[in-house]
Amino acid sequence: MNTANWMILRAAVLGLAIFGQTACAQSPEPTTTAPAAATTASPASQTGTAPAVTGLPDFTVLVEHNAPAVVNIRAVILAGSRRSGGPQMPQQEIPEFFRRFFGPEFEHPPGGGRDRESGGSGFIISPDGYILTNNHVVRGADEVRVTLTDRSELIAEVIGTDPQTDIAVLKIEGENLPTVRMGQSSELKPGQWVIAIGSPFSFDHSVTAGVISATGRSVGQSQQYVPFIQTDVAINPGNSGGPLFNLNGEVVGINSQIFSGTGGYMGISFAIPIEVAQNVVEQLKTDGRVRRGLIGVRVQPVTREFAQSLGLERPAGALIAEVTEDSAAGKAGAMVGDVILSFNGRAIETSNDLPPIVGLSRPGDKVAMEVWRDGRRRTLNVTVGEAEADPEAIAAASTQDGPASGANQLGLAVQELTAEQRERLGLESGQGVVIARVSGAAARAGLARGDVVLRVGRTDVGSVRDFERAVSDVGPGDSVMLLARRDQSNAFYTITIRDSDR
């Protein structure tokens, strides 16, 4: 090879090397045109096989159509409220995900003499103003404010909450409001595109996109009834409660949590399946509470070793470690050592699959439960029992029925209790009224929405009229003792009226 040819070959090789380094070091510029895979022939397309990916989606129309139904939510804790001085639950009960998501401030919120706010997202599900969000967005709030896309701000009523699924239903006044369309999360598959719209760090109506990473995820005992959708959509503080859309513009989930060691987004986020949320909404609106199925077993995973020992073909199902006495499963003949393979026609692949499926069953339903015992399959007929109601959820939902009394100088508006609500709260007939709204002097005293007022001074109250009569003469400078029930226990509260409370 002569010198001239050698120089040409050397230049060509160097050119290829430099081009290769540039392609690896620089990411392609964002574009809305089809990627190279869609327009450039590849070995797959040359052989007649369709390429696996043909282009990236454009979310513009989807966002323009649905963004007006997404709202910003601010939960306000008033100065002097019992909530402003500390956390709302014992530290050991705060889910690990929430501690990681919100950071140290969630565990030790600052006290002080001024109102505090926390933010989140939500979306309108009916033209008359029903809104879905997360329970942890509004939990413990004295006032909930909702901001629409036109910047108008409205006070929202908390219709009901369900801590077990982290769902809250709000209501604002309005007509012909923009709404979202509901999809089916059961049809989601890993790899499908999804997008989130919300208010991360108060940057309202921010749009982020990603793919489904997995479905049916369990994130701990505190939310065992939720088979979470895992995505890699960027979710940050403020996104909680916002919608997760599929490419059809349908809501398939509610963004709820992230997995993070720092409190910031690290590529793993979780959404509540929309079917779970819809079930909760329907029950809260019709019954004022959420009823869940219970069969009374404690289960654990089936390992490879267990499967081999039990004669199973593969490690699948939920191994029964304990059967509660006089439980639905026990009455049906379930035994310790049985492996539950299916429940009500739905396969149980892991032990985490069982609680959501059982929880969604209606108490009283008769379902077939297939178990593995002594080397063969057996079918047990189970009459589903009912899980114990969440006291916090009852308190939140109990204020939805009936008109509230007008606010007074105590800062309280109360409502009548129904016979069913009294029964659930352990009260006798004609006993107590429930607090629908609280502010001012009552908030400073530590009273909260959902508390049940049993007595004003030495006068028992069993109706709104009784309450209004008992407080009619209260004025600035007066102090009034109220006996109230919260979480199945009674306590006295002293409300002192200031001149500013008029």
Residues 6+ apart with CB under 8 A from 30: none
H/E run at residue 377 = strand 376-383
Using DSSP's 3-state secondary structure scheme, residue 10 falls into helix
Catalytic choice (84, 199, 206, 240) = 240
Q: Where are the alpha helices (DSSP H) in 213-362?
A: 274-287, 304-310, 328-332, 354-359
Q: Which residue, among 438, 432, 449, 446, has the nearest Cα to 492 in the 3D structure?
A: 446
| Cβ pair 284, 275 in contact under 8 A | no
172: amino acid identity, one letter: I
| Cβ pair 136, 166 in contact under 8 A | yes
184: amino acid identity, one letter: Q
Handedness of CA 255, 257, 263, 265 (dihedral sign): negative
Catalytic choice (142, 162, 166, 451) = 166
Residues 6+ apart with CB under 8 A from 279: 360
**Does the annotation count 81 as an active-site position?**
no
Query: What torsion do the CA atoms of 171, 176, 177, 183 make, to the nearest 10 degrees?
Result: 90
- What are the angstrom distances between the C-alpha of 418 and each of 58, 455, 462? 51, 18, 11
How many Cβ atoms from other residues are within 10 Å of residue 343's Cβ? 24
Query: What torsion do the CA atoms of 316, 212, 198, 178 make, to the nearest 10 degrees?
Result: -90
| Separation of CA 44 from chain center | 43
**Does the annotation count 65 as an active-site position?**
no
Cα–Cα distance measured from residue 71 to residue 241, given in angstroms and rounded to the nearest whole number: 10
**Does the annotation count 205 as an active-site position?**
no
Tokens of 319: 């191994």
Q: Which residue, among 94, 167, 139, has the nearest Cα to 448 in the 3D structure?
A: 139
Cα–Cα distance measured from residue 182 to residue 250, given in angstroms and rounded to the nearest whole number: 5
Q: Rg of the chain's alpha carbons, rounded to an integer?
A: 28
H/E run at residue 14 = helix 3-25
Catalytic choice (118, 121, 136, 256) = 136
Residues 6+ apart with CB under 8 A from 349: 316, 317
Positions annotated as catalytic residues are: 136, 166, 240
